[in-house]
């Protein structure tokens, strides 16, 4: 999942070297991923009214369903 998130987000931002994904603790069968980007790139990742962030989360959740997992993506 981390590779998928990195692949998507690095294509969107101006500073791809500043993108980092860390896997958080698994609670109640849900794995969390924390996405960190440069301050000036947050707008590109979140998008207008959060549409890009929702799309990223939807893609990751769809990939997780194929692996019988549950995930959450947090943008920091």
**Domain that residue 24 falls in:** 2-75
User: 70-75 and 20-27 as β-strands: parallel, antiparallel, unpaired?
Assistant: unpaired
CATH number of the domain residue 50 falls in: 3.30.300.20
The per-residue pLDDT for 72 is 95
The per-residue pLDDT for 12 is 95
* CA distance linking residue 39 with residue 41, whole number of Å: 5
* Number of other CB atoms surrounding residue 67 within 10 Å: 9
The dihedrals phi and psi of 20, each to the nearest 5 degrees, come to -140, 140
Count of structural domains, the chain: 1
Cβ(30)–Cβ(71) below 8 Å: yes
The dihedrals phi and psi of 28, each to the nearest 5 degrees, come to 55, 35
Q: What is the DSSP letter of 14?
A: S
pLDDT tens digit string along 14-26? Answer: 999 999 999 998 8
Query: How does the average pLDDT of the chain come out, rounded?
Result: 95
The per-residue pLDDT for 30 is 95
pLDDT surpasses 90 at 35: yes
The per-residue pLDDT for 26 is 87
């Amino acid at each position: 999942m981390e590779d998928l998130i990195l692949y998507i987000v690095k294509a969107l931002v101006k500073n791809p070297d500043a993108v980092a994904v860390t896997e958080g603790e698994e609670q109640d069968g849900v794995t969390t991923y924390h996405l960190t980007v440069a301050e000036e790139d947050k707008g590109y990742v979140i998008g207008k009214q959060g549409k890009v962030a929702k799309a990223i989360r939807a893609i990751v959740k769809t990939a997780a369903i194929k692996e019988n997992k549950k995930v959450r993506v947090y943008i920091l």
